[in-house]
Amino acid sequence: MRTEVVVTGLGALTPLGGDVASTWAGLLAGQSGITALTSPEFADLPVRIGGRLPVDPAQALPRATARKLDRNQQMLLLAARQAWTDSGLAHLAGTGQAVPGERLAVSVSAGSGGLLSILETWETLKEKGARMVSPFTVARFIADGAASWIGLEIGAKAALETPIAACATGSEALRRGAELIRAGWADVVVAGGGDASVHPFLLASFAAMRALSHRNDEPARAARPFDKTRDGLVLSEGAAVMVLESAEHARQRGARVYAELAGAGVSADSYDFAQPDPTGEGQAAAMRRALTDARLAPDQVVHINAHAAGTPVGDRLESVAIRRTLGHHTSDAVVTAPKSMMGHLLGGAGAAEALATVLALHHRVVPPTINIDDFDDEIALDVTREPHELSGGVVGALTNSFGLGGHNSVLAFRSVGAT
């Protein structure tokens, strides 16, 4: 029999809030986390809007800890701590019921690694010389740094992994986490992703690709997936982490289960670096594989958390791909686009949106999509603009993450019991 994987802990720092409760409340209320970037280093950029955390992760950690960690690592460590505590496993540490380190793994990624630390240290090296380069520089910039810091803190000895897949990074980290449990390498995996992306270097780089919204005068209205006037994505920072656990392990310790991570599907377009395959087949293949893996039929999918970054081509193509996957059942699935509120968390997006999907199943309500003033009639999906209540019973949901370079990563979740 296949090992079932369930979600037993959640943690997040997003532009909507410094924890899961405030993020979820912001999503349900249809709040925008996007603001104008007014400090001098952004002044000369073509795009001066972004989603910043309302809390400074460096302030939430002891100074000696904060200075060892890149900003992405600070966010991911804090999100992991939240999830670890939320799962109840933190309280078991040091007792006979603690998860043995040998059965505990980490699958946590940052899409850009410690890019901010690289930029900062390069300045130090040029201005002050090699002697002033911190011994923590490598630890701060390597892409797997966050996984290692989290592993050190919880004593994970089964594996530390860091799957990277551009904007699908967070989703891929969760997929790998579930695989570690299914393959029998671990009973519990702390999994998720995050990126510290609100920096002039990233804004300039993404703007050069023509990927960003230029709506500088209306930050809160700039992220507008599925609206006719959408003009690109909005960069945000943030992290989301889950505790994944074998259903048997969770049952034995009486853990609260949010949802089942029922399956995952992956594919690659290999069509163009920045543009998705225009047939939508790559994205549809990933969705079909996720459904098959989760043993979900198209008519059991009541909710889709769309990748919907707000780019003119991407949103339309996702609609094509969803219809290709669900056929005439497409209208049974309520679609939402949390990037309309959180912006694009890059390596954190897949994890934060998986978290929103899990909470939608847990609370039986789908958060709205905001900023749709003029719905693009080329989008043939049931996109909700109000919080939408889900029916009872066991239902399935998909969350899509598509990344630059042609990564398609889809996670399938199933609701559990009565709530």
Partner 1 sequence: MASIDQLNTELSDLVNKVAGVPLEEIRPDKSLTSDLDIDSLSVAEIIIAVEEVFGVRIPDADMSDISTIHEVAAYIHKAQAKQL
In the complex, which residues of this chain contact partner 1 (CB under 8 A)?
Answer: 62-65, 68, 131, 134-136, 139
* Backbone angle region of 192, left / alpha / beta, with phi > 0 → left and psi within -120 to 50 → alpha: left
199, 249, 303, 307: which is the annotated catalytic residue? 307
DSSP state of 298: G
Catalytic annotation on 328?
Answer: no
344, 362, 388, 407: which is the annotated catalytic residue? 344
Burial class (CB in 10 A: 0-12, 13-18, 19+), 40: exposed
CA distance 404 to 311: 13
CB of 130 to partner 1, least distance (A): 11
Residues found in the chain: 419
Per the listing, tokens 């000369």 go with 44
What DSSP assignment string belongs to 169-193? HHHHHHHHHHHHHHTTS-SEEEEEE
CB of 128 to partner 1, least distance (A): 11
Catalytic annotation on 199?
Answer: no
| CB proximity list for 407: less than 8 A, separation 6 or greater | 165, 166, 167, 168, 172, 266, 268, 401
Catalytic annotation on 91?
Answer: no
CA distance 342 to 241: 16
CA distance 313 to 318: 9
Instruction: Just list the catalytic residues.
Output: 167, 307, 344
